[in-house]
Structure 1
């Protein structure tokens, strides 16, 4: 595994947690459509080819692998792969999306989303529920990256390009909604090229502030204006394929791409034939925890709408909490705090009883206990207890036997929240800042 712990710090739970490291990703369209529908001009038997792909996934041990067109030969890939975390198939044609992830990291959420628009103008893109997937990958304790896998509409007819533009916009809008303030990776089969301007592939840069590491590292920052076609296996990195990667860091986590490559020659049959009609691509990243904002791990269940105070906190200089305000009864209804500059954060519903604590001069909110339980078949936060640097406490809700305590690093304090909410607190984490 290429992931390495470079620097260490005390985590919220008192154990050593990484503050910097590296990881690798791979994107590969595995050509898993049934042979009768598409032979993909790939020699050999698709069953055997799929088993070989799984073997090579394990051999090279990329940390987060996205596959597309993983339809009717999914089981053969998984039978020879050894990654500890893998998404369950959504089915073969015509039931599944063909999108799956194999990883060395776990995640706290996973969602499959179908495209709102598809086109059969030149390909049978409406035959299956193609779309994108979302997960929040756990790189380390309190270190998360939102990871999206996608397979956009194919073809170059007017209807195809309109559908593909809509697909890419759908993902960009989802990033704005679900990944505000977070580090993000988007990669997969975009079926798009920079020279097809109607596709709008630059939307991830213009709308979401992301970089393409191929443009950054291979093209010297210059977006191509003349179409180039890659051979398979590719003999050069400068040619452009429709398989792409986009990334950004956040105030919580710096990300930098350090290596980009077509992995074509690593994914060949014994006789030198290709395993897929797409050139797989890999990128290596380094990461480091934020110097002015960090976060705890999450507690609770993956339900409700995502929220984050990170973007607002990133505009502040040395933010400090002055008033804590919670609501709760049988469960934790809401959490909130007011900063010393008057900025107020509130998340959750309006039920329960209100409890409040005004911090004294020099007093910091240093730790929080959360307890979770089941309500209507979903995991929610039932209880919170805040403890300050002076030993004072504030609580709300009803304690359970399933609890965790999060403590700010030495010299830091809790200044905000991120998580998921509705009428109550579903999933919750805390934002730390130096005090």
Structure 2
């Protein structure tokens, strides 16, 4: 008999920049977010960094340890160390990629890749969104759902900003990611989620360097990788939202999304305020795989 199971994926940009830079109030919110993550099986986070000890950011700090101390996941990624300007290939970068995974399932082979390009440092006069201040990119793990049932799980945070330079780099990011998936995950099932910064429901900007806008960048990426946007299968209230999830069945492992929901009533404070400037995206999946032996 084939083996089956289910899991709920959560992708959440938790806005964990230092309080003065964050679009949110992480000092208050991160301790509240932590326990709420325990209701999910596979949690992919963006914008969460671990405060080094000793802390060179002082008096500022970041907050991943506030989440880590409040979740009960056995399996957790090791946060990438903060470069603090020490990386000669990106001297402006203070922060690492901000990507982390909490999981009920064991995972290994963690690979982190920085986007090859970025635009915008501390000086935002050129209109950039400060992307070069971090090592933004994507992370992949080999996650084991059951004996011999492996899925490559991707967490990503793409270039932000709306300048022509940013938009050209967004296209480059997804080309880079597609090339990586083609090689690293050839013939393997994939779950992918994160903050794409692609507004796929907006009319193309006539000045867009790709000529065809965010929707075309995403469509080209899906076509190249054989991934399917969850919204194409289950229908979504907000298919154009920048926080997206996609999947691919392969190697005898069938993945099937059962829904797509922004958890707008879960990740809120008692006063009704959102805990981040993004909504958390929950996607329940079922999986099936051939019997062992």
TMscore range, shorter length = 0.7 to 0.9
Aligned pairs for 1:243-254 (under 5 A) are 243-254=243-254
For the 8 Å contact 2:17–2:26, the answer to whether it is kept is no
1:23 to 2:1 alignment: no
Match of 1:80 in 2: 70
SS class of match (2:265): helix
Match of 2:80 in 1: 90
SS class of match (1:202): helix
For the 8 Å contact 1:248–1:255, the answer to whether it is kept is yes
Match of 1:66 in 2: 44
Match of 1:259 in 2: 259
Match of 1:270 in 2: 270
Higher CA-based Rg: 1
Match of 1:142 in 2: 148
The structure 2 residue matched to 1:131, chosen from 137, 146, 152, is 137
Aligned pairs for 1:259-298 (under 5 A) are 259-290=259-290
Give the CA RMSD over aligned residues: 1.7
Match of 2:57 in 1: none
Equivalent pairs, count: 254
SS class of match (1:89): coil
TM-score normalised to structure 2 length: 0.82
Q: Which runs of 5+ in 1 are unaligned?
A: 1-6, 9-18, 220-236, 295-407, 410-435
For the 8 Å contact 1:25–1:64, the answer to whether it is kept is yes
Match of 2:163 in 1: 157
Structure 1 or 2: more strand by fraction: 1
1:110 to 2:125 alignment: no
1:53 to 2:33 alignment: yes
SS class of match (2:228): coil
For the 8 Å contact 1:172–1:203, the answer to whether it is kept is no
CA distance in 2, matches of 1:105, 1:148: 15
1:192 to 2:198 alignment: yes
Aligned pairs for 1:25-40 (under 5 A) are 25-38=9-22, 40=23
| Superposition deviation, residue 239 in structure 1 | 5.7
CA distance in 2, matches of 1:242, 1:259: 17
- Greater length-normalized contact order (CA 8 Å, ≥ 6 residues apart): 2
Aligned pairs for 1:299-338 (under 5 A) are none
Match of 1:209 in 2: 226
For the 8 Å contact 1:107–1:138, the answer to whether it is kept is yes
CA distance in 1, matches of 2:284, 2:46: 20
The structure 1 residue matched to 2:175, chosen from 169, 173, 182, is 169
CA distance in 1, matches of 2:220, 2:192: 12
CA distance in 2, matches of 1:156, 1:95: 22
| Superposition deviation, residue 193 in structure 1 | 2.0
CA distance in 1, matches of 2:21, 2:222: 35
| Superposition deviation, residue 203 in structure 1 | 2.6
String of CA shifts for 1:155-206, please: whole Å, max 9, x gaps: 1111001111111111111110011110001110000022354340113321
Q: Which runs of 5+ in 2 are unaligned?
A: 50-61, 85-93, 121-126, 205-211
| Superposition deviation, residue 271 in structure 1 | 1.5
For the 8 Å contact 2:109–2:142, the answer to whether it is kept is yes
Large movers: runs of 4+ above 6 Å: none
SS class of match (2:233): helix
For the 8 Å contact 2:19–2:27, the answer to whether it is kept is no
For the 8 Å contact 2:157–2:194, the answer to whether it is kept is yes
CA distance in 1, matches of 2:42, 2:257: 14
For the 8 Å contact 1:91–1:97, the answer to whether it is kept is no
SS class of match (1:80): coil
String of CA shifts for 1:272-292, please: whole Å, max 9, x gaps: 1110000110111111114xx
